[in-house]
Structure 1
């Protein structure tokens, strides 16, 4: 999981907030899916799992949106390049790229979030989730299959070359 956290922060710090948002919005789904029993269908109940994870790990800091709203942001961005859905309670979503102090508020019908703060909050929530599941057998089993970045290869398949597998 650390490599995912590093990827989010690294893309932010390298000036790629759009990429960081993609990863951060997917992270609750990744965590919730890791809890499934091995062999379970990951595509079943995705929205409900995402909402449950949000309610447990992020809702306290994001009272203006629901887990279903965040799931809509995730789906819209990852699949359509848009935020929200037709029943979304905001006219617009604005992620500020520069830390200017606006975060988690609504102005003129637009939800405003600070990209850095949002990504940091999602990472903190994922770390909290991770500590809650440190001895979870499903998580441990599924973690071995998690796509990750390997800077020195992935023996015995590839050596001395950066890979993602």
Structure 2
């Protein structure tokens, strides 16, 4: 799991916003998939986000009570819009609740809301995801042998691989 966190952080450092955001948006899928195996993708994603991220995107107003800037349903709609269509438009996604669009900035505003538009800072959002994944690793993955076993099947990259006893390496 650390390799994904490292990839997000390296992408942020090199200002590769698209890669950072793409990997960050897939992390609730990866974590929740390791918990339960395959199936139930949408509901798993929403539940994971609401468990590990919702409190970071909820403001407790003294008079009017909690104001939720981003919940699991809207983040899942963003994930679908961004990863499948390269878009920030949520308006056509049935799972969304109250947002039509999410705009990302590279500096300044984080969790700004104008009607059905949410403004997020890409650095802050990706760091929040990384922090939540670390929390999930500590509270779930580190104590569950089934999750640890499933994690062994996550994609990894190396210089070569062994196929039928023959060492193969990448081209120079």
Instruction: Kindly indicate whether the alpha-carbon contact (under 8 Å) linking 1:12 and 1:116 is maintained by their aligned counterparts in 2.
Output: yes
Q: Which residue of 1 aligns with 2:40?
A: 45
Q: Tell me, yes or no, if the aligned pair for 1:76 and 1:85 is still in contact at 8 Å.
A: no
Structure number with the higher strand fraction is 2
1:137 aligns with 2:142: no
Q: Which residue of 2 aligns with 1:106?
A: 113
Of 75, 78, 86, which aligns to 1:81? 86
Equivalent residue of 1:35, what SS?
helix
TM-score, length of structure 1 as denominator length: 0.83
**Mean alpha-carbon deviation: is it higher for 56-65 or for 78-87?**
78-87
Instruction: Tell me the TM-score normalised to structure 2 length.
Output: 0.80
Aligned match of 2:156: 148
Structure 2 unaligned segments of length 5 or more: list them: 59-68
- CA root-mean-square deviation: 2.0
Cα distance in 2 for partners of 1:46, 1:2 equals 22
Q: In the alignment, does 2:94 pair up with 1:94?
A: no
**Equivalent of 2:77, from 72, 75, 79?**
72
Match of 1:127 in 2: 134
Match of 1:58 in 2: 53
SS at match of 2:143: coil
Question: SS of the counterpart of 2:120?
Answer: strand
Matched with 1:32 is 32
Is the contact between residue 161 and residue 168 of structure 2 (CA under 8 Å) also seen in structure 1?
Answer: yes
**Alignment coverage as a number of residue pairs:** 153
Cα deviation for residue 155 of structure 1 reads 5.0
Closer, same or farther: CA 94–130 of 1 in aligned 2, 3 Å: same
Distance 2:18 2:27 in 1: 15
